[in-house]
A and B are shown apart, each in its own frame.
Chain A
Amino acid sequence: MGANPAENHPISFRWLLKARENGGKIVSVDPRFTRSSSQADLYAPLRSGTDIPFVGGMIKYAIDNNLFHKEYVAKYTNASFIVKEGFDFKDGLFSGYNEETRSYDKTKWEFETAEDGTPIRDESLENPRSVFQLLKKHYSRYDVETVVNVTGTPKNDFLKVCEAFCSTGKPGKSGTIMYAMGTTQHTVGTQNVRAFGILQLLLGNIGLPGGGINALRGESNVQGSTDFGLLFGDLPGYVGAPKALPEHASLKAYLEKETPKTGYWSNKPKFLVSMLKAWYGPNATKENEFGYHNIPKGNKNYSHMALFNAMYKGELDGTFLIGTNPVVGGPNAGKEKEALSKLKWMVAVDLWETETSAFWQKDAGSNPEKIDTEVFLLPACSSFEKEGSVSNSSRWMQYRWKAIEPKGESKADLEIIHSLATRIKKLYKNESTPAAKTINALHWEYGGHGEHPDIDVICKEINGYDAKTGKLVANFNSLLDDGTTICGNWIYSGFYPEEGKNLSKRRDNKDTGGGNFLNWSYAWPMNRRILYNRASADPSGKPWSKEKAVIWWDGLQKKWVGNDVPDFKPVVSPSEPGGQNPFIMMKDGVGGVFAPSLNDGPFPEHYEPFESPVANLFSKQEMNPTVFIFDGSFNKKGNKSKFPIIGTTYRVSEHWQSGTMTRNQEWLSELAAHMFIEMSEELAKEKGIKNKDKIIVSSARGEITAYAMVTKRFKPHKMNGKTVHQIGMPWHFGYKGFATGDTANRLTPHIGDANTNIPEFKAFLCNVRRAD
């Protein structure tokens, strides 16, 4: 659901097919019948943007039919917690909403606590203010009729999916939900995932083999790059980036505010201080709070869309683009291209000339004479012309060796980044302005030969070592908050525990049990393969079932043993405090059925997309009331009378992201050579379009031309007595490379999720007509 693994993550699909050989069932929920659907046992169509009704209906089904895993829910989730008086939900809004700021006062969603601050629980789940009862009440509105009227799913198909998936609530069974951008690229993206989380907690499917909710990462190292803090809000290891707030003004203040008393995050000071030591080296002292003041602090939304909004307004002078192509991949891409021309300079590092680095060319529809942007295009080499590690969707950190020298004059990004850093630092060497001070404080000693840094030095800095002796730390348990340890990214600490022992290079492919391959590469944290695997055992420490055993408490050895590294303190027995709290990263040690920290509500609630052809059947709130609405021309909204058709974008097996890595490859370019628009036979007939015709798709943002692919695999949604058409298109195309075509993102809006700011690519309004 929200993923099409046969096309976008084919090798993950291999394991689904294997699971089926062992009696598993594959369910595909997608607006369009995909290559994944072709292999599914059950297929259910749904209208783009209606995942919450669909999963909400499943939650109701599980509760009503008593199919949830009661003990798991009572012990391992916050379903037993009591929510304070004052929490309410009315007509699409949770309590505490402020219309002006478009935000909630989250203090209205807090739990009742005992005097020591621990939440009060009712494990019978019967207290009317318990999370469970509130959940039940919330989703009582998601009855089958309403759900299918919103999603457009044939009732029978919906019920079959409910029946099949909810059957995994029994011990000995597990079900997983694999999702990708079909889930996240919505104004309710985070809540879509939350809905999956709630369902999986109810069914007791988290922490078990074959369970969980699995984000299928779209890029080889989007996991690692996020782990290392390449998003504005996080420093490496998901330590929140400090803001320009009084409570973040000093390290002390920051740690006081951001360190929870319980849960594993209570170790945050050790992680942050060790990281500061790694960044500022000898310039990080106890006296100067380990250089904390050097970390940049800002309060704005610096996310992708905000960034381009700022660029469009001329608020940015320079931009680095490292292997990224927003002119194809960004929302409202036509506008993002225009924004680039406001830059004074741009540095693009890529293997190819992309639509983005060439935005100033005539071919891009620009007038070069009028664009004053200075563009530096640096040739990077490919992944096998250098060495280094990447982290996959399962957090396996795997090493890639160098197979060949970089082609031509291209260079490894490592060298490019290193060279730029050293040269910039050199320019500041003799200055003492505030700007100079912070950069001069940055510790940058990576040895190596010539301009190429020594990757082992970097690896050791990431893993961590003793500041005095230089001895590598075994793992993050050895980190301290007094400045005596250095560690660039705590979650990776442990992958390089001894000199010459980079565990990401391990290639022992013997199955160590449960398909965990513990001696193959290294999985952060601590080489754990299944997160929250404590939940695979019952509160007493016995596996819920033999079939799904992962770790268990060995009373004789007095430790947790099994097929995986325990994602738990290995010596804490089930009877000790915290011994029954599997979700160690959560403050309360339990899974969050109720999530009081999110911006748009503690329970997922259905809101229509920014652009929708129908009214919200659940409440008067049409759109997620907390999404940020950009102003100006970036945010033109289409209405349903002019644009009655739902548009969605997706990927095909043969191309990747903005196409730079596949449209420059002849073999892939021939496989998917043309931009196309998929549509139902019914819509084609209505519009007088024949298969292979050239057609024009328009939205409030722009128009594109492409071939019509009229297919039986798209069917009009019939809901609430109405027919709604949906079309779909790949977003890989641009005008560079071997396979060229119009860019789908010229149609998509600049609006995003309320928590993550991920753009809503997956549901927008458009119209189609023949090109001639």
Chain B
Amino acid sequence: MVEYAKYVDVTKCDGCRACMVSCKNWNDLPAEPQDFLGSNQSHAKVTANTWNVLSFIEHENSKGNLEYLFRHSACFHCKEAACVKVCPEEALHYTDFGTVVINDEKCVGCGYCVQNCPFDVVSLATYKDKHGKEYKKAQKCTMCTDRLEEGMQPACVTVCHTGAMEFGEKDKMIQKAEKRLAEIKGKFPNANIYNPAGVGGTHAIYVLAEKPSVYGLPENPKVPTSAVIWKDYAQPIGKMMLGATTMAVIGAYISNKIFYKEDHGHDENGGGSNE
């Protein structure tokens, strides 16, 4: 299966934020006005109803020159996604495109994914059912997988007028990123490609002008060790233990029955060998 990726070259972004609206328009997401954040940025980070946020960063580089940096931030669609790992309902899953999506019907709103995402991307949305009762579901960028299935590109990529975003085969996107990196190294010596190995690489690959931390990104994100131990060891062992004890108990019960029949002399009150 060919892997696909969204290529985001933040050095081409001019901060128009069409990607934000386009996402809401396609996915029918409501607005959620926020308090004033002290810059042009509208939301501190992505939320359950705002799947991508454009961050505005004023950065003075080592030469003392002002850089006005923008970053389209959305789900990275990790190859080894912590959210998929921790989801107890298998609601979070990988698609054939390599994207990570939430099956709404399966999601129970437990929030495990919310707490374990190394990029802080997943959030819980609160909805009301027809009786007015509130319930929650995890939400995040789907990379418009419904559009991908129809052979169309993600809404944010489609609308991007600067060429900062593209969607295509991951290999090609990486080649593109490398080519671009070579072009901009002169202007941005700290430029880098963000495709972190700690999560097995991502399906949203960034060309960043500055270090990831300048953009508020973890330098070395990974699936939390706790999640690995929990999901790969504790839970299977726990299940095994549950199984083992249950088996032991059942075994004990049966063997008791057998021995009880053989040794009918024991009284029902279970005094045991009190003699």
Q: Which residues of A contact B (CB under 8 A)?
A: 6-7, 10-11, 13-14, 17, 33, 35-39, 652-654, 666-674, 676, 691-692, 707, 709-713, 738-739
Q: For A6, give its contact among B14, B30, B50 (CB under 8 Å).
A: B14
Residue of A nearest to B59 (CB): A712
A738 touches B58 (CB 8 A): no
Judge if B39 is at the interface, Cβ distance under 8 Å: yes
A673 CB contact (under 8 Å) in B15, B18, B33: B33
Q: Can you spell out 22 A-B residue pairs with CB atoms less than 8 angstroms apart?
A: A10-B14, A14-B163, A17-B12, A17-B14, A33-B66, A33-B68, A37-B68, A38-B14, A38-B69, A39-B12, A653-B17, A666-B30, A667-B21, A667-B31, A671-B17, A671-B20, A671-B21, A672-B42, A673-B36, A713-B66, A738-B31, A739-B33
Which chain B residue has the least Cβ–Cβ distance from A12? B161
Interface 1/0 per residue, B138-175 and A, CB below 8 Å? 00000000000000000000000111000000000000
Residues of the B chain whose Cβ atoms lie less than 8 Å from the Cβ of A13: 14, 161-162
List residues of chain A with CB within 8 A of the CB of B40.
652, 672, 709
Task: Answer whether residue B67 sits at the interface, using C-beta atoms and an 8 A cutoff.
Answer: yes
**Contact between B14 and A674, CB atoms less than 8 A apart:** no
The answer for the CA separation of A13 and B14 in the assembled complex, in Å, is: 9
- Which residues from B are CB-within-8-Å of A37? 68
- B60 on the interface (CB 8 Å rule)? yes
A residues less than 8 Å from B15 (CB atoms): 6-7, 35, 38, 653
Which residues of B sit under 8 angstroms from A653, Cβ to Cβ?
Answer: 15-17
Contact B32 A667 (CB under 8 A): no
Smallest Cβ distance from B39 to chain A, in angstroms? Answer: 6
Whether B25 sits at the interface, judged by CB under 8 Å, is yes
User: Looking across the interface, which residue of chain B has its beta carbon closest to that of A34?
Assistant: B68
CA distance A230 to B40 in the complex (A): 36
Contact of A676 among B12, B33, B36, B70 (CB under 8 A): B36
**Contact flag A670-B12 (CB < 8 Å), given A38-B70, A713-B58:** no
Contact of B161 among A10, A33, A38, A710 (CB under 8 A): A10
Q: How many angstroms between the C-alpha atoms of A711 and B33 in the bound complex?
A: 22
A13→B18 CA distance, assembly (Å): 14
In the complex, given contacts A666-B30, A670-B32, what are 10 additional A-B residue pairs having Cβ atoms less than 8 angstroms apart? A10-B18, A10-B161, A13-B162, A35-B15, A35-B70, A39-B162, A652-B40, A670-B31, A671-B42, A672-B42
Q: Which residues of B contact A11 (CB under 8 A)?
A: 161
CA distance A654 to B41 in the complex (A): 11
The 6 closest A-B pairs by CB, nearest first: A666-B31, A38-B68, A670-B31, A6-B14, A14-B161, A691-B38
A33: B residues at CB distance < 8 A:
66, 68
Instruction: From A6, A7, A711, give the contact of B58 (CB < 8 A).
Output: A711
The distance from the CB of A682 to the nearest CB of chain B, in whole angstroms, is 14
* B273 contacts the other chain (CB 8 A): no
B24 within 8 Å of A by Cβ?
A: yes
Q: Is B34 an interface residue (CB 8 A)?
A: yes
B39 close to A709 (CB less than 8 A)? yes
CA separation between A284 and B69, bound complex, in Å? 62
Known contacts A666-B31, A670-B42; A712/B18 CB under 8 A: no
Known A14-B162, A35-B15, A667-B25; contact A673-B42, beta-carbon cutoff 8 A:
yes
Give the residues in chain B near A692, CB-CB below 8 Å: 36-38
Bound-state CA distance A33–B66 (Å) is 9
Alpha-carbon distance between A668 and B33 when the two chains are bound, in angstroms: 10
- For B161, the chain A residues whose CB sits under 8 A away are 10-11, 13-14
> Binary interface profile of B, 7-29, with partner A (CB < 8 Å = 1, else 0)?
00000101111101100110000
Task: Please give the distance in Å from B269's CB to the nearest CB on chain A.
Answer: 73
Count A-B pairs with CB separation below 8 Å.
93
Q: For A668, give the chain B residue with the smallest CB separation.
A: B21
Measured CB to CB, the closest approach of chain B to A729, in angstroms, equals 13
How far in angstroms is the closest Cβ of chain A from B22? 10
How many B residues are at the interface, by size bracket?
20 to 34
B162 with A712: CB separation less than 8 A: no
- Evaluate contact between B31 and A710: CB separation under 8 angstroms: no
B21 touches A712 (CB 8 A): no
User: Chain B contacts of A739 at CB under 8 A?
Assistant: 33
Contact of A674 with B70 in the complex, beta carbons under 8 Å: no
B23 nearest in chain A by CB position:
A667
A14-B161, A668-B21 are known contacts. Are A712 and B60 too (CB-CB below 8 A)?
yes
**Cα of A707 to Cα of B39 in the assembled complex, Å:** 10
Most chain B beta-carbon neighbours within 10 Å: one of A13, A33, A671, A707: A671
Give the chain A neighbours of B24 by CB distance below 8 A. 667
Q: How far is the CA of A674 from the CA of B41 in the complex (A)?
A: 11
Residue contact A39 to B38, C-beta cutoff 8 Å: no
Contact (Cβ within 8 A) B36 A710? no
Check if A712 sits within 8 Å of B66, measured CB to CB. Answer: yes
A673 and B16 in contact (CB under 8 A), knowing A652-B40, A711-B58, A712-B60? no
Cβ contact within 8 Å between A35 and B39:
no
Closest chain A residue, CB of each to CB of B164: A17
Closest partner residue, chain A, to B41 (CB atom): A671
Asked if A738 meets B38 with Cβ closer than 8 Å, knowing A10-B18, A711-B58, A712-B58, the reply is no
Q: Which residue of B lies closest to A692 (CB)?
A: B38
* C-alpha gap A668/B18 in the complex (Å): 10
A671 to B25, CA, bound (A): 14
Q: Which of B14, B58, B69, B70 has the most CB of A within 10 A?
A: B14
Q: Which residue of B lies closest to A38 (CB)?
A: B68
If A13-B162, A35-B14, A653-B17 touch, whether A713 touches B68 (CB-CB below 8 Å) is yes
Contact present for B34 and A654 (CB under 8 Å) = no
Residues of B118-147 at the interface with A, using a CB-CB cut-off of 8 Å, are none
Residues in chain A near residue B68, CB distance under 8 A: 33, 35, 37-38, 713
What is the CA–CA distance of A652 and B40 in the complex, to the nearest angstrom?
A: 9
Taking the nearest CB of chain B, how far is it from the CB of A714, in angstroms? 11
Contact A707 B31 (CB under 8 A): no
Q: Mark B220-242, 1 if CB is under 8 A from A, else 0.
A: 00000000000000000000000
How many whole Å from A39's CB to the nearest CB in chain B?
Answer: 5
On whether the beta carbons of A670 and B34 are closer than 8 Å, the reply is yes
| B184-220 contacts to A (CB < 8 Å) | none
- Shortest A5–chain B CB gap in Å is 9
The minimal Cβ–Cβ distance linking A70 to chain B, given in whole angstroms, is: 36
Closest A residue to B11 using CB positions: A39
Q: How far is the CA of A671 from the CA of B56 in the complex (A)?
A: 12
Name the residue of chain B whose CB is nearest to the CB of A671. B42
**Residue in A closest to B69 when the chains form the complex, CB atoms:** A38
Q: List residues of chain B with CB within 8 A of the CB of A38.
A: 14-15, 67-70
- With a cutoff of 8 Å between Cβ atoms, the chain A residues found around residue B12 in the complex are 17, 39
B180 to chain A, nearest CB (A): 11
When C-beta atoms are compared, the residue in chain A nearest to B16 turns out to be A10
Bound together, the chains give a CA A669 to CA B24 distance in angstroms of 13
Residues of A within 8 A of B70 (CB): 35, 38
Give the CA-CA distance A769 to B66 in the complex, in Å. Answer: 26
Chain A residues lying within 8 Å of B31, measured Cβ to Cβ, are 666-667, 669-670, 738
Cα–Cα distance between A13 and B160 once the two chains are bound (Å): 12
| Shortest CB distance A376–B (Å) | 32
Name the residue of chain A whose CB is nearest to the CB of B58.
A712
CB distance from B123 to the nearest CB of A (A): 16
